[in-house]
């Protein structure tokens, strides 16, 4: 079994975690979803296509990028997250 790790933007509370799990769980090949809220990372266990994963994150409103495939740009400013969570 393999897993895919992604860096996810916009997660700021437990509801975000729930939204993401609900968005990913129905995808073909997804067996388990682990969310590290503090690190802003998600690990998906199973054999989903990375394109389907990214599309699901996008649809849920949390832009994501693959950690295995690309190294995130560390210098990116983390501004704009001052006022709590914007999820519903
Ligand atoms: Cu939230």
The 3-class secondary structure across the chain, one letter per residue, is: CCEEEEEECCCCCHHHHHHHHHHHCCCCCEEEEEEECCCCEEEEEECCCHHHHHHHHHHHCCCEEECCCCCCCCCCCCCCCCCCCCCC
- Distance, CA 84 to ligand 1 centroid (Å)? 8
Query: What is the value of pTM for the model shown?
Result: 0.79
pLDDT for 41 equals 97
pLDDT for 13 equals 96
Q: pLDDT of 24-81, one tens digit each?
A: 999 999 999 999 999 999 999 999 999 999 999 999 999 999 996 445 555 554 444 4
What domains does the chain contain, in order, with CATH numbers? 3-66 (3.30.70.100)
- Distance, CA 83 to ligand 1 centroid (Å)? 11
């Amino acid at each position: 079994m393999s897993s895919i790790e992604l860096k996810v933007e916009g997660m700021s509370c437990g509801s975000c975690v729930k939204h993401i799990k609900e968005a990913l769980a129905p995808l073909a090949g997804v067996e388990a979803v682990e969310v590290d809220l503090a690190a802003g990372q998600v690990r998906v266990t199973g054999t989903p296509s990375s394109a389907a994963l990214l599309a699901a994150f996008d649809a849920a409103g949390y832009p994501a990028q693959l950690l295995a495939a690309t190294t995130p740009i560390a210098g990116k400013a983390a501004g704009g997250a001052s006022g709590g969570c914007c999820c519903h």
